[in-house]
Amino acid sequence: MDLTVTIGNGILPNPVGVASGTFGFGEEYGRLMDLSRLGAVYAKALTLEPRPGNDTPRMVETPAGMLNSIGLANPGWERFREEKAPFLKEMPCPAVLNIGGKKESDYLELVQKCEELDCHWGYEINISCPNVKAGGLAFGTDPKQVETLTKKLRPLTRKPLIMKLTPNVTDIGEIAKAAEAGGADGVSAINTLKGMVIDTKNRRPVIPAGTAGLSGAAVRPVGVASVYRIAQSVSIPVIGLGGIFTADHAIQYLLAGASAIQVGTALFVDPRIPLQVLEGIVSYMEANDFNSLKDFHGHF
């Protein structure tokens, strides 16, 4: 059975990764699980400058999900290079750097800097964070900007280039087409959905920023539909995420057209879930005589 996933010039050992923002830079969960069995670690979003993150509280639980407003809190390029990159380099599975920025030149400069390092397998470009004032969503909702940014990033690296897309758009297929036209090797979807919870006692949003990003089981059908739409629109690989808690959920994404998946919020429920999902995918493939992940595609 072949579990590998090819994205651009890169090959992932298996389709199960852990989602950016839920896994830090790998050190913490590395003490709880065998990282060598993961398909990939999609690292916490990195920006050129250090970011302290958004005001608190930053999260609240919602029906079968949660809202977060972390605000891309991260140590910035300099401290990343010194403190985080060495761990990623030694990590026994592929590391994908998640790149954030306020403006186009931030993304380009950061990818150029990261090319000096050899700690990573590829890039996931964050054009979909709902929790920052500049950058993030502002890029990811405009197909022209997505294509332009992707085109400018493309010549900077030979490593796999994955654009991470937001579901907060009318047609995510159009955004994916723009990424493909710009030369992306793949797209990942979905980032969180914009949501709000209001404290009726204090008469203000629970999260100081107002809106925040919804994730967890509640968003799963939105994610599956988004991946299906993208897979119908482009021929580059799609990495599906959003509410994957079990192998069955991951298989829904694969059947919808995903070539790989990411587990995010479910890690907060049980850190064993990513490897359980992987085992469940393997069992499903065995039971159905699937030889490779391509056998998941084209059933409907």
Partner 1 sequence: MEQFHSEVISCRESARDYYELVFTWKGPVPLPGQFLTLRCWDGESPLLRRPFALSAYDGAERRASLIFQKRGPATSIMTRLKTGDHMDILGPLGGSFPSPETGRRPVIVGGGIGTGPVLFLADALAKAGLRPLLVLGFRDKNFVPRVHLPLGCETVITTDDGSAGVPGTVIDYLRSRDDLENSRFYGCGPHPMLKGLHELALEQEAPCSVSVEEVMACGIGACQGCAIPVTLPQKFLRVCQDGPVFDSRILVWT
Which run of H or E residues covers position 269?
helix 266-269
Among 149, 217, 219, 258, binds partner 1 (CB under 8 A): 217
> In the complex with partner 1, which residue's Cβ is closer, 268 or 290?
268
Q: How far apart are CA 224 and CA 251, in angstroms?
A: 10
> Phi, psi at residue 108, to the nearest 5°?
-65, -45
Distances (CA, A) of 40 to 17, 20, 26, 111, 228: 4, 10, 10, 19, 22
Q: Which is nearer to partner 1, 27 or 174 (CB)?
A: 27
CB of 210 to partner 1, least distance (A): 17
How many other C-beta atoms can be found within 10 angstroms of the C-beta atom of residue 124? Answer: 26
Question: For residues 152 and 108, is the Cβ–Cβ distance under 8 A?
Answer: yes
Q: Smallest gap, in angstroms, from Cβ of residue 61 to partner 1?
A: 6
Kindly determine how many residues on this chain lie close enough to bind partner 1 according to the rule CB under 8 A. Answer: 36
Kindly name the residue from 93, 114, 119, 129 that is annotated as catalytic: 129
Helix (H) or strand (E) holding 124: strand 122-126
What is the footprint of partner 1 within residues 36-55 (CB under 8 A)? 44, 52-53, 55
Regarding 90 and contact with partner 1 (CB under 8 A), the answer is: no
Per the annotation, the verdict on 129 as an active-site residue is yes
CA distance 52 to 49: 10
- Please report how close the Cβ of residue 177 comes to partner 1 at its closest, in angstroms: 32
Q: Which of 5, 66, 172, 219 binds partner 1 (CB under 8 A)?
A: 66
Question: Is residue 63 a contact point for partner 1 (CB under 8 A)?
Answer: yes
Q: Which residues contact 24 (CB under 8 A, 6 or more apart)?
A: 43, 44
Half-sphere exposure of 90 (CA within 13 A, CB side): 6
Q: Is 198 in the site for partner 1 (CB under 8 A)?
A: no
- Least distance to partner 1 from the beta carbon of 21, Å? 7
Binding mask 221-260 for partner 1 (x = CB under 8 A): ------------------------x---------------
Kindly state the smallest distance separating residue 134's Cβ from partner 1, in Å: 19
Q: What are phi and psi of 35, to 5 degrees?
A: -65, -25
Q: Closer to partner 1 by CB, 66 or 224: give it.
A: 66
CB 163 within 8 A of CB 127: yes
Specify the pairing of strand 10-12 against strand 16-18: unpaired
Using the minimum distance from each CB to partner 1, give the nearer residue, 51 or 229: 51
Q: Round to whole Å and give the CA distance between 17 and 263.
A: 6
Residues labelled catalytic? 129
Note the residues at the interface with partner 1 (CB under 8 A).
21-24, 28-29, 31-32, 44, 52-53, 55-61, 63-66, 68, 70, 73, 216-218, 245, 265, 267-272
